[in-house]
Every structure is written in structure tokens, then in C-alpha cells.
Amino acid sequence: MRLSNVLHYRDMRRYTKNPLEVRFEELLPLKLKNKVSGKGDRSKERACVHEMSIMFACFKKNEFDQSRCSNEINLFQVCANKHHIEKFKRKQNIREGNISLGKDNLTPREINYLLKKHPNP
């Protein structure tokens, strides 16, 4: 495979008269890489935002009287604590390099490790 082929691939297509005559050329190997990029590491959604908004709504209704929103506050704090503990564990796992098996969402780090161990044939 030559780099120039890849770069000029489109141009070559453009100049052929009959598109049906274009032969398929395997310019890059047709298999997945044994690597994923680490860009999607961070989860997009922020934890406890929903609980926070519920709490604020209650605050607004009751003029910031906490005693009348104890249920909402409690929910928010439980959520925040849970998130805090999870965050700590996640950091610890990265630090110690543990893999959690049987999980749906693996981090790129974990995927890369597994792919390195069991590469594509």
C-alpha cells in the first residue's frame, strides 16, 4: 500500500469515465485495530443534576426552608455520596490498574488491555 494511493484515491475515482469499472483496492487492511482511543473516557452526563434541580424547585416553592424539603435534600445527598464513592473507586481502579469483569461499559484503558491480551486474529 502506498500512501500516495490513499491520498489520491478520490481524485482517481473522479477521473475514471465509468464508475462501474472502478476496481476495489484494499488500501488499508480490512480489520479492526487492537486499540481504541481514550477520548470517550469521560462520561458526558453529570451526576445528580436531576436531583439537584428537584431540590431547587422545592427550595423555590418553600422559600429556601430546608425543613420542608427534607425528602428532596436527602435524595440529593444520597446521590452525591454515592457518586463520590464511585468516583473514588474509579480513580483507585485506574491507579491500581484493576479490571472489573462482567461490566457493560469498559473504560478505554480496560479495553486496550484486553485487546492487547487477546488481539484480533
CB 33 within 8 A of CB 111: no
- Nearer to another protein (CB atom), residue 36 or residue 52: 52
Q: Which is nearer to another protein, 33 or 90 (CB)?
A: 90
Q: Smallest distance, Å, CB 32 to another protein? A: 20
Instruction: Locate 39 and state its grid cell.
Output: 477520548
Q: Give the number of other CB atoms < 10 A from CB of residue 79.
A: 17
37/43 with CB nearer another protein: 43
- 77 vs 10: CA distance, rounded Å: 57
Residues of this chain that interact with another protein (CB under 8 A) are: 42, 45-49, 52-53, 55-56, 59-60, 64, 73, 76-77, 80-81, 83-84, 87, 95-99, 101, 113, 117
Give the separation between CA 16 and CA 104, rounded to whole angstroms: 47
Which of 67, 120 has the CB closer to another protein? 67
Q: Is 55 within 8 Å of 49 (Cβ atoms)?
A: no
- Cβ of residue 84: shortest distance to another protein, in angstroms? 6
